[in-house]
Amino acid sequence: MCVAALTVFPPAAGASRPHFDGPTIDNPRVPPNFALYDQRHDRIELYAQHGRVVLLTFLYTHCPDVCPLTADHLNGALQLLGSDPSQVRILAVSVDPRGDTPAAVASFVHRHHLLSEFHYLTAPRRTLAPIWHAYGVDSTVVDGLHVNHTLYTLLLDRAGRGRVLFGSTSTSRTIAHDVRLLLGS
């Protein structure tokens, strides 16, 4: 079970900004840096992604509902971008370090046909907990398998500033639209 967090900030009066479909962040700023390892054992650092558009989310592989939906929508957005989504990265931070084993992550990636731009990031709880805290994400194991957690996707521009905050039901089209705006700017 997941708890979706979504805070909408209206655009500032007179601001010259792209017209995003998703809820925008009024005062975009660079969120805290972190570095974790993905499903291919590559070290992925958030700040090293500057110059690319990044979709940052928090998932777990055994989720029965919104995590797979979110992964599918993010992956679908990449597919809608066309033949070269290389300027976009999806960073999915685990909220279940015990259950998100290398085998579980590999199975999740395979089952959902996740593209190579999709990085499923894992680490021990002691490494992940400060990241969750910095991003306002709660993660509680409720029955040994399911995790109640905060779920949202933060869209970062090429300068690493958070621009849009998508909820778990945001569609691939909405996400792709907003990513295209940032790729064009």
pLDDT in tens, 77-93: 999 998 677 899 999 99
What value does the CA radius of gyration of the chain take, rounded to a whole number of Å? 15
**Of 12-21, 25-34, 85-94, 131-140, which gets the smallest average pLDDT?**
12-21
Return the CATH number of 31-184, one of 3.30.450.20, 3.40.50.300, 1.10.10.10, 3.40.30.10. Answer: 3.40.30.10
Is 58 in contact with 151 (CB distance < 8 Å)?
yes
Q: What is the pLDDT of residue 142?
A: 86
Rounded to the nearest 5 percent, the helix, strand and coil shares of the chain are: 30, 25, 50
- pLDDT band at residue 3 using 50, 70 and 90 as cut-offs: very low
* Least confident range of 14-18, 23-27, 105-109: 14-18
Residue that is written with structure tokens 């509680």 in the block: 140
Q: Domain limits of the chain?
A: 31-184
How would you label 147-162 residue by residue, b for 16+ Cβ within 10 Å and e otherwise?
A: bebbbbbbbbbeebbb
Question: How far lies 21's CA from each of 74, 99, 127, 156, 165, in Å?
Answer: 15, 34, 34, 15, 10
- pLDDT confidence of 14, banded at 50, 70, 90? very low
Does the structure show a pLDDT above 50 at 12?
A: no
Residue predicted with more confidence, 54 or 2: 54
Per-residue model confidence (pLDDT) at position 17: 59
Is the Cβ–Cβ distance between 60 and 68 less than 8 Å? no
